[in-house]
Structure 1
Amino acid sequence: MTDQTIYLLKAFFLGVLEGVTEFLPISSTGHLILFGNWINFESDEAKVFEVVIQLGSILAVMWIFRQRLIQMIVGTLRLDPVEVAFTRNLLIAFLPSAIIGLLFIKMIKALFFHPGVVAVTLVLGGFIMLWVERRRSPAAAAALAARPQARTLEQISWKQALAVGCAQCLAMVPGTSRSGATIIGGMLAGIQRKTATEFSFFLAMPTMLAAALYDTYKHAGLLSQQDMLAIAVGFISAFLCALLVVRAVLAFVSKHTYRVFAWYRIGLGIIVGVWLWMA
């Protein structure tokens, strides 16, 4: 196999990994860092690749929710109160990470984009998920029943949206998981699990589009023709895999908790920690 073929196979593999993990609460960025390190796919260009291929995952979720997205846009333009409130909530949730990202993203990448950090945040995030799910158990449900619960996207308040947006800022540290932070943050704020998951998907659209476009603009000069071909391969594979995963996640959370993902995070974090310690 030629070096070019091997490079494109790596790009395809990472694209599949991105599409599968982006909307699961297990950290797509953390997985890309870990497996990119494992297959020797590390460079400034690779960091741009990891961000830009997220566009494939985002386009997949935009396609799946296209009818609700069109409804939101048309309703907002027509000043429909329900849709205006939903758009406002998305903007409120988007702003904290946008501000923190613009101010500190270079420092965050320099300090935290390392397998050791990913191992720690995977484990910590897993235990937090277990704790939150325990609070939502049948035994705890009676105590929470008196609290107002947002069971649809339209019932989410601006305060709950802000709580989700603040939680999303934590996901700038790899291994935390953007979807995991926003879903758990939403559940803690009083949003029903499935609705928190849907809101997380909608919030991913402006957040990840902004991150991908900003990174592409800032680092376009680094990318060669070979890099652009690899991005195209990763983009397509991420798009196709995300199409399958998003529907599966929504079906899963309507009947199950997130405990299985919490234990997966803890197990993977321990394995990575042991591997780094022995290396």
Structure 2
Amino acid sequence: MNWFEALLLGIVQGLSEFLPISSSAHLVIVQQLLGINIEGNQLEFEVLLHFASLLAVTIYFRKEIKEVMIGFISYLLLNKKENRVHYRFGWLIIIATFVTAVLGKLFEDLLGKNITNTATIGVSLIITGLFLFLIEHGIRPGKRTIRQMTWKDGLIVGIGQALAILPGISRAGSTLVTALWCGLNKETAVRYSFLLSIPLILGISVFEVPKMSRVYFETYLLETTIAFLGSFVFALIGIKWLIAMVNRTKLSFFALYCIILGLFVWFYIQDVSIV
């Protein structure tokens, strides 16, 4: 992998992390189509890109994160009623994250190696496309805000997020669909979806970072730095793009893209196994 390929993978990861098109599927497809070989440990490289995306979403939603954290702690310690909504919202994030972790591990164990073959990716991309069509043409946004959310919302959205363990199922798309299906309005659904990505990516990073080899990053310092910066910058672009597209009801473009890409993967690179 040279510096240009590292930059390309960083851009792909950053843009697709928060757009409803599945970052994991796009990384696999780009590597297969262009024959990009990541020297060393691919998992370490992917965790690095995810951490860049985590940094981007944390910076973008820093005000919301601060509000929820301060409100949660204030209500927990001081029982201030004005902070009850943030306290409940914090628990809804915790509930959904827990459900995602448990079901995600279960799905991973059940599917085994089949979870990363291109046949699975192709079908999953098509399903993601259908999800996105549902957002605009099948599911009417509700009127419920954070104040009206219940533990059932956290449970259902957590299940939706767990489906994104499959490369090709978009985390953003599945959480948006389930949140809107629960009757949340678009603003609340988008906010919940983005904030849910933080503990999920953070958990993966914390679990995998101690396993990373210092030698790997010293050996490929230029490539990893370029990929990290590319992922960070384009993740910020992807966040702004998705918010704008949801508000303007333009997700059908992403839906059509995912279905076409899924069909392409299914018919033309279905026989390729990905390790």
TM-score, normalising length: structure 2: 0.86
> Given residue 192 of structure 1, which amino acid in structure 2 is its aligned partner?
N
Does the Cα contact within 8 Å between 2:136 and 2:249 map onto a contact in 1? no
> Given residue 76 of structure 1, which amino acid in structure 2 is its aligned partner?
F
1:29 aligned onto 2:24: yes
The equivalences for 1:63-78 within 5 A come to: 63-78=59-74
Does the Cα contact within 8 Å between 1:45 and 1:222 map onto a contact in 2? no
> Given residue 26 of structure 1, which amino acid in structure 2 is its aligned partner?
I
Give the share of equivalent positions with the same residue, in percent: 28
- Could you tell me how far apart the structure 2 residues matched to 1:87 and 1:278 are? 44
1:57 aligned onto 2:53: yes
List gaps (5 residues or longer) in structure 2.
Answer: 76-82
- Specify the alignment match of 1:189 in structure 2: 182
Relative to 1, partners in 2 of residues 1:83 and 1:194: Cα closer, same or farther, differing over 3 Å? Answer: closer
The equivalences for 1:112-131 within 5 A come to: 112-131=115-134
Relative to 1, partners in 2 of residues 1:65 and 1:105: Cα closer, same or farther, differing over 3 Å? Answer: same
- Specify the alignment match of 1:149 in structure 2: 143
Does the Cα contact within 8 Å between 1:76 and 1:83 map onto a contact in 2? yes
Does the Cα contact within 8 Å between 2:85 and 2:146 map onto a contact in 1? no
- Could you tell me how far apart the structure 2 residues matched to 1:111 and 1:50 are? 19
Does the Cα contact within 8 Å between 1:21 and 1:28 map onto a contact in 2? yes
Does the Cα contact within 8 Å between 1:52 and 1:215 map onto a contact in 2? no
- Could you tell me how far apart the structure 2 residues matched to 1:78 and 1:241 are? 35
- Cα RMSD over matched residues? 2.5
SS in 2 for 1:191: coil
- Specify the alignment match of 2:8 in structure 1: 13
List gaps (5 residues or longer) in structure 1.
Answer: 1-5
- Per the TM alignment, residue 42 of structure 1 is displaced from its structure 2 partner at its CA by 4.7
- Per the TM alignment, residue 108 of structure 1 is displaced from its structure 2 partner at its CA by 4.9
SS in 1 for 2:167: coil
- Per the TM alignment, residue 236 of structure 1 is displaced from its structure 2 partner at its CA by 1.3
- Specify the alignment match of 1:87 in structure 2: 90
Does the Cα contact within 8 Å between 2:118 and 2:271 map onto a contact in 1? no
- Specify the alignment match of 2:137 in structure 1: 134
- Per the TM alignment, residue 105 of structure 1 is displaced from its structure 2 partner at its CA by 4.2
Relative to 1, partners in 2 of residues 1:57 and 1:184: Cα closer, same or farther, differing over 3 Å? Answer: same
- Per the TM alignment, residue 218 of structure 1 is displaced from its structure 2 partner at its CA by 3.7
How many residues matched?
Answer: 264
Which shows bigger deviation, 230-239 or 212-221? 212-221
The equivalences for 1:228-243 within 5 A come to: 229-243=222-236
TM-score, normalising length: structure 1: 0.85
Relative to 1, partners in 2 of residues 1:270 and 1:199: Cα closer, same or farther, differing over 3 Å? Answer: same
